[in-house]
Structure 1
Amino acid sequence: MTDQIEMKLLPALEQEEIINSFALIEGREQVSTSTLTLKCGDTFLLADACGDLLAARQEMGLFRHGTRFLRTCNLFLEGLPLTMLSHQVADIGDSAHIDLTNTAFTSSGGELVEAGVVHVNRYIELEQDYQTQTFTVTNFATEPLQLRLSLKIGADFCDLFEVRGMQRPLRGTLQAPKVQRDRIVLSYCGLDTVERSTHIAFEPATSLVSAERIDWVLSLPRSEPVTIRLTINTHDGNAETILTTPATTLWREQQLPTISTNDPLFNQLLQRGMNDLMMLSTMTPHGFYPFAGIPWFSCPFGRDGLLTALEFLPWFPQVAQGTLAFLAAYQGTKVEPFTDEEPGRILHEFRTGEMANLREIPYIPYYGTVDATPLFLIVLEAYIRWTNDFAFLDKIWPNAEAAAQWIVEYGDRDGDGFIEYHTASEKGLSNQGWKDAWDAIVHGDGRVARAPKALCEVQGYVYAAYQSMATLARKLGKMQAVQQWEERAEALQERFLQTFWWEDEHVFYQALAENKELCDVVSSNAGQCLWTGIVPNEKARLLIKRLMQEDMFSGWGIRTLSTREKRYNPMSYHNGSIWPHDTALIGAGFALQGGKDEAGKVLKSLYAASQYYEDSRLPELYCGFVRRPGYGPTRYPVSCSPQAWAAGAPFILISALLGLHPNAEAHRLTLHQPTLPEWLHTLEINGLFVGGRRVHLRFIRMGEHTEVVLGKENEVDIRVL
């Protein structure tokens, strides 16, 4: 490769002038709102559309194991930033091609070089613990050019929580860089005694190297490409981490299902969701686990992983199995106030990195979640219905019993029948439902609710968890346990409807707070009760109608809090914003309760919103402003994208609209009133599996009716009700 490039050896003084010229380069850094996200295993890169890591964008960098190993990796031609022509990310999200070109500049000989005559292809590829970058430079000017290509390099080894803004009284020590003609080593000795280092090797070598910059002087004949290659390795020696392996090859070996409709843009949304699931799912020793989102939540989250698994379950049951197995392996076994661990409790969040090692944060793992434990049981029962995987059920049943026992013994401390939360950890979360911002649970007069708090939707989760335990116990022949869990479910439902139903508003109160004071606000929490089965039909119809009123349904989805409430703020995290996964779960509840027209409108709102985001990728959340005809939703500034449960939002709505009810043990799939929304004419599913047996279905909307066409290769009994 070295014969493709001519290196120009410069006098020491001239070399120093080149290296010192970065004051000019830094001043010309371009700030773009467009970003590029790559992930492989537990390594991820967040860059701008040119592949650069901008100082103005604090979240950018190359991250692994909760640490930023590369803060700067910015490319310049003749001291100027390049212009992006296009960037394309691989479907599975582990590599990207970026096409760049030059701006106009004056050469060292005083000649004007016009814009757009030099092409640079920047190819970035991630592996488990390293990244490669290849720069292919081609001159399309009529004459040969001699140009300087520069790469600015830097690493700060910040913990991800430092990147998020947490202040630390002390940090470790950045070591003296090691610089050679073909490599740079940047390293940091943490307060946890772990040495973390970034090794940047490049070919061809050059004498123009400093700790912060690499220069190549290129002689470029017309139309003859020159290639430069970097390999960036990350090392964190003796650090304690979650063992992961790259999942790219494993995904490609899977028999993946397909889903397509007559609408190519809707197909793009669905394909984006599937690709993002594969991108975010990391292979652990226990199977695939969908990391929650990039950049802030690229690690195992209990609630996020379980809800993502539930959303994608009909299409990717292997993700549900891996998620359940991982969470069972780390299930709580003791009482530990610092991490809010309790026997049987399912974890909330599992971080690695310097601050985790030093217990500056409690996420090692942290168990402060009230809903992951019942969700664990719900997903387990759903997984068994789809797969009939009795070997897995038999193995994980002790974990299920421990989880159910946690709900009874620790979830309901005061014995009133409702599951509430409060934090024991000084550094833990004050809110332990999915709305975990400090001000997410409120009273109608604007006061922030005080613990202990019993969320309405969590009572629904627990009801469904009790029913799940009864179903699983029946499969295992444990008939005494069946009766016990069914009685608990029935008693909870009765108490819940008496206590939480708000007749004046036709919703459920958001929560019970300290001293059993009602949180009298109209919120999306109430809507999530619908999919759990705790809401009887007559109240469900009233609730559906209420949530579709304009103070809750914005046109882009369902707001987390009504516009009429004192705490409403469309730009807040949880008090008026719109979360695609929240909207989708509510819409799925609509469909399950007979509101399929409303569910179709909810799906269309998410579909419409996706068209205003690059590659139709639904973000973690967006602002809750009312939909303005001809304009898109207002972006939330620090929303994660991709986000696993946002990627799965359309899929759970489709499952609910089609009424998919599996019975893998009986080799049967029942379709309850399958309904395509009025804006879709056809939908086809191929490669869906029920108990390992293949299903092929085609749905056609004929006026107000949806017709089901069965594929000849179906291996299960299909029933349409």
Structure 2
Amino acid sequence: MAIEINVGPPRLAINQGYGVLITDQDGQIPWPTDKGFYHSDTRVISSWQIFADGESWKLLNSGNVAYYANRIFLTNPILHTEIGVVPEHTLGLSISRSIGGGIHEDLDLVNHGMDKVQFNLEIAVRSDFADIFEVKSGSIVRRGRITSAWSQGAPRLTIAYVNKDFKRRVTVTAHKWDSKPVYANGRISFELELKPGEAWHSCLLYAVGDGETIDHAPDHCIAQTGGAGAHRKLSQWRDATLKIETSNEEFYRFYHQSLEDMAALRLPIEGTDHLEFVPAAGVPWFLALFGRDSLTVSLQNAMVHSSFARGALEVLSRHQATRRDDYRDAEPGKIMHELRRGELAHFKLIPHTPYYGTADATILYLIVLHNAWRCTGDPDLLARFLPVAEKCLSWIDEYGDRDGDGFQEYQTRSKAGAYNQGWKDSGQALVNTDGSIVTAPIALVEIQGYVYDAWLRMAQVYDALGKSARAQTLREKAEALFVRFNDTFWDEESGFYAFCLDGEKKQVLSVASNPGQCLWSGIVPPDRAAKVVKRLMEPDMWSGWGIRTLSTDNPSYNPNSYQNGAVWPHDNGIIAMGFRRYGFANEAACIARDISGAAGYFVQHQMPELYSGMQRDPTDFPVQYLGANVPQAWAAGSCFAMLQMIVGFQPDAPAGKLYIDPVLPEWLPKLTIRDLRVGENVFDLRFWRDDDATRFETLKGDPLAVVQKSYATATTRWL
């Protein structure tokens, strides 16, 4: 039997909505650290420790029981008390927590010894109310005043922060206690006296307020209800989404953990239920609304939950820019990048109110709108969001193409703006062949493909709306871009596309993963696709755990860097879909196996945002990037992208059709999918390998609505 290796950071993390709790494995938050209880981009608990007469407890074990709840089991060291010595391991202390707005914390203690014990259980709580940006950077500035007050009647500890009109507070209320606490020396203290075999319980409820509203803690103890409301919502989410059965346990577990991760990252939309939502980007640093991430995840989830995109389309439309604002990199029609709710954003010390420094979200909005329409067949989607799309199309022409050369370029105008504004958005992500930073303005290769794809998709939308002249104009623009792009970005000598064009419109010929996304967009001529696929599968790019972001031959390559050599699962998912689009099913399946295999090594099969680009060999395993977000929405969604690729998913709900082109790889010889929704139709489909061919049958739904159609349609997909 093979040894099971679990890779992941030594921490506990639970989250729901805009709240996330990150602790050590013993449930404590040491000081100083970047852990804590964060709510709406503010750390409201910065230190939490528990003692028995001043002595620290010992960890037995801990773990999450759901994305919103965990349990920690502790025992005592030797305690010297006024009535005698308490031998070590005599007491059992369990801490159970659930998050849902605030935090419900259950403290349960049992005396397993033969003698009575008497001691003080003490909980030390501190709050620094630091902005999440400053915690992450390690440079925290205190701008306001922190006060604390204890109400013995409740009993309740209130810690408040005020900086002018920015207010935050957290209250810690003892509830259902078996002995009433007191507060002294910064600690909530319970005086305990337990006979042999006797148990003790208390709840602590952590509520968070901003001066106007209060997010209360869940009402129920975890041991009694399992998290009641959150558990019910998770069950409803599972019922509403695609189910799979497969002979590959590894992929099965990856898929189901990805479903749970997607549920964990749901941000509520005011006025809707929990099945209409927008996903946060990731935990802990990106529990906020992001344009690019939400749209990418919507595309990934098209097969899993056909209405998934509604939330992103709705919320992002509310924040579409109406005027130019250089500090926020905003321009009329532009879709936002990132919205924050902490102190720095409140006082506009950062431009995230929201910030618009993204070169691709506006284009992706059009792609998602078309895809959502194809999945749902809902004409109201087009009626509701076509005005938004029109503004996006105008932005592409007027602002995306900064110099009128027909390509999309970006360069920040903000003193606090992002230098790089594609998905590789770190300041060091775009490098020349000598390792130096590419000069702006920058025309990224994959963004040209996005525009090509968006124009063709919107042409199809306009045809459906009876606006054939508008559709023809967009097709002509797409055709012109196709020619111009392939003349300008292709390097015949290397047989590969330039990473980007720099500020002088020179090709940057660093070998990176970005051109792989052009296969997904369809902007690559079929006769060049084989060269792109072959180049990406060379050893300097393919690690065995997926395709790296940057070639090992580049001087800036570092397998443990953020975007200069690491492997990003979502990037690989898009590339794999592109491989299949051009008929390279075996290579696409290889990438899918890499990513699925890597997931099997991470704790709970929970895919991190990225992991090391080190070369795979028989003795190693994937190494998680320090600081990677887990869970992370488009990392989890990479599983769903791979599933779309394997099935050859091509929805056409407006026509009442589901087109598929399944190619099951050897490692996935059987697959059944259930509750696949395409418009009004719901299908169950079974797939199996028959020698080298893949067969399928319709188990539920109209079999005449399911049609096999080649997924390898290359540049004619939307023409």
Task: Give me the whole-angstrom Cα distance separating, in 2, the residues matched to 1:219 and 1:471.
Answer: 74
Tell me by how many angstroms 1:627 deviates. 1.5
Task: Give me the whole-angstrom Cα distance separating, in 2, the residues matched to 1:296 and 1:475.
Answer: 41
Among 637, 650, 655, the alignment partner of 2:644 is: 655
- 2:220: which partner in 1? none
One-letter amino acid matched to 1:708: F
- 1:322: which partner in 2? 311
Q: In terms of mean alpha carbon deviation, does 584-593 or 545-554 score higher? A: 584-593
- 2:685: which partner in 1? 697
- Cα deviation code 1:509-541 (max 9, x no counterpart): 110011102111000111111111111222111
Alpha-carbon contact 1:194-1:239 (below 8 Å) kept: no
Q: Are 1:98 and 2:52 an aligned pair? A: no
Alpha-carbon contact 2:683-2:700 (below 8 Å) kept: no
Tell me by how many angstroms 1:613 deviates. 1.4
One-letter amino acid matched to 1:269: F
- Cα deviation code 1:325-353 (max 9, x no counterpart): 11111111111111111111000001111
- 1:68: which partner in 2? 43
Tell me by how many angstroms 1:249 deviates. 5.0
Task: Give me the whole-angstrom Cα distance separating, in 2, the residues matched to 1:548 and 1:353.
Answer: 43
- 1:113: which partner in 2? 87
Task: Give me the whole-angstrom Cα distance separating, in 2, the residues matched to 1:268 and 1:666.
Answer: 34
- 2:221: which partner in 1? none
One-letter amino acid matched to 2:673: I
Task: Give me the whole-angstrom Cα distance separating, in 2, the residues matched to 1:240 and 1:522.
Answer: 51
Which residues of structure 2 form unaligned runs of 5+? 1-7, 216-228, 710-719
Q: Are 1:361 and 2:336 an aligned pair? A: no
Alpha-carbon contact 2:86-2:117 (below 8 Å) kept: no
Q: Are 1:719 and 2:704 an aligned pair? A: no
Task: Give me the whole-angstrom Cα distance separating, in 2, the residues matched to 1:222 and 1:207.
Answer: 22
Give the alignment of 1:525-540 within 5 angstroms.
525-540=514-529
Cα root mean square deviation, aligned: 2.1
Tell me by how many angstroms 1:169 deviates. 6.2
Among 248, 252, 257, the alignment partner of 1:272 is: 257
SS at match of 1:148: strand
One-letter amino acid matched to 1:180: Q
Task: Give me the whole-angstrom Cα distance separating, in 1, the residues matched to 2:616 and 2:699.
Answer: 40
Among 453, 470, 473, the alignment partner of 1:484 is: 473
Alpha-carbon spacing, 1:309–1:247, altered in 2? closer, same or farther (3 Å): farther
One-letter amino acid matched to 1:231: L
- 1:197: which partner in 2? 169
Task: Give me the whole-angstrom Cα distance separating, in 2, the residues matched to 1:223 and 1:313.
Answer: 54
- What is the aligned length? 680
Give the alignment of 1:66-465 within 5 angstroms.
66-91=41-66, 93-111=67-85, 113-115=87-89, 117-128=90-101, 130-165=102-137, 167=139, 171-178=143-150, 180=152, 182-191=155-164, 193-203=165-175, 204=177, 206=180, 208-210=182-184, 212-238=186-212, 250=233, 252-254=235-237, 255-285=240-270, 287-465=276-454
- 1:50: which partner in 2? 26
Among 481, 484, 488, the alignment partner of 1:495 is: 484
Q: In terms of mean alpha carbon deviation, does 552-561 or 82-91 score higher? A: 82-91
Q: In terms of mean alpha carbon deviation, does 313-322 or 268-277 score higher? A: 313-322
Alpha-carbon spacing, 1:207–1:526, altered in 2? closer, same or farther (3 Å): closer
Higher RCO (C-alpha 8 Å, min separation 6) = 2
Which residues of structure 1 form unaligned runs of 5+? 1-31
Alpha-carbon contact 2:83-2:118 (below 8 Å) kept: no
- 2:547: which partner in 1? 558
Alpha-carbon spacing, 1:686–1:110, altered in 2? closer, same or farther (3 Å): same
Tell me by how many angstroms 1:217 deviates. 2.7
- Cα deviation code 1:56-97 (max 9, x no counterpart): 531x11111111111122223343433334434344x22223
Alpha-carbon contact 2:336-2:361 (below 8 Å) kept: yes
SS at match of 1:216: strand
Q: In terms of mean alpha carbon deviation, does 400-409 or 212-221 score higher? A: 212-221
Task: Give me the whole-angstrom Cα distance separating, in 2, the residues matched to 1:247 and 1:358.
Answer: 33
Alpha-carbon spacing, 1:274–1:33, altered in 2? closer, same or farther (3 Å): closer
Task: Give me the whole-angstrom Cα distance separating, in 2, the residues matched to 1:458 and 1:540.
Answer: 17
Task: Give me the whole-angstrom Cα distance separating, in 1, the residues matched to 2:134 and 2:509.
Answer: 37
- Cα deviation code 1:452-478 (max 9, x no counterpart): 100000001111111111011111111
- 1:25: which partner in 2? none
- 2:717: which partner in 1? none
Question: Which runs of at least 4 in structure 1 moved beyond 6 Å after TM superposition?
Answer: none
Alpha-carbon contact 1:368-1:428 (below 8 Å) kept: yes
Tell me by how many angstroms 1:315 deviates. 1.0
Alpha-carbon contact 1:190-1:196 (below 8 Å) kept: no
SS at match of 1:317: coil
One-letter amino acid matched to 2:17: G
SS at match of 1:199: strand
SS at match of 1:332: coil
Alpha-carbon contact 2:123-2:187 (below 8 Å) kept: yes
- 1:20: which partner in 2? none
The TM-score, its normalising length taken from structure 1, stands at: 0.91
- Cα deviation code 1:465-494 (max 9, x no counterpart): 111110111111111110011011111111
Tell me by how many angstroms 1:550 deviates. 0.9
Alpha-carbon contact 1:696-1:714 (below 8 Å) kept: no
Task: Give me the whole-angstrom Cα distance separating, in 2, the residues matched to 1:33 and 1:169.
Answer: 27
- 1:5: which partner in 2? none
Task: Give me the whole-angstrom Cα distance separating, in 1, the residues matched to 2:371 and 2:685.
Answer: 21
Tell me by how many angstroms 1:45 deviates. 1.2
One-letter amino acid matched to 1:36: L
One-letter amino acid matched to 1:119: G
- 2:669: which partner in 1? 681
Task: Give me the whole-angstrom Cα distance separating, in 2, the residues matched to 1:239 and 1:454.
Answer: 44
Give the alignment of 1:495-644 within 5 angstroms.
495-644=484-633
Alpha-carbon contact 2:152-2:182 (below 8 Å) kept: no
Task: Give me the whole-angstrom Cα distance separating, in 1, the residues matched to 2:313 and 2:197.
Answer: 55
Alpha-carbon spacing, 1:208–1:712, altered in 2? closer, same or farther (3 Å): closer
Tell me by how many angstroms 1:107 deviates. 4.8
Task: Give me the whole-angstrom Cα distance separating, in 2, the residues matched to 1:309 and 1:104.
Answer: 54
Tell me by how many angstroms 1:170 deviates. 5.8
Tell me by how many angstroms 1:134 deviates. 0.5
One-letter amino acid matched to 1:227: H
Task: Give me the whole-angstrom Cα distance separating, in 2, the residues matched to 1:235 and 1:491.
Answer: 54
One-letter amino acid matched to 1:586: I
Task: Give me the whole-angstrom Cα distance separating, in 1, the residues matched to 2:71 and 2:334.
Answer: 44
One-letter amino acid matched to 1:200: V
Alpha-carbon contact 1:619-1:643 (below 8 Å) kept: yes
Tell me by how many angstroms 1:171 deviates. 1.1
Tell me by how many angstroms 1:630 deviates. 3.1
Task: Give me the whole-angstrom Cα distance separating, in 2, the residues matched to 1:119 and 1:239.
Answer: 37
The TM-score, its normalising length taken from structure 2, stands at: 0.91
Q: In terms of mean alpha carbon deviation, does 161-170 or 316-325 score higher? A: 161-170
Task: Give me the whole-angstrom Cα distance separating, in 2, the residues matched to 1:392 and 1:358.
Answer: 36
Task: Give me the whole-angstrom Cα distance separating, in 1, the residues matched to 2:142 and 2:169.
Answer: 19
Alpha-carbon contact 1:309-1:323 (below 8 Å) kept: yes
Alpha-carbon spacing, 1:248–1:145, altered in 2? closer, same or farther (3 Å): closer
- 2:712: which partner in 1? none
SS at match of 2:308: helix
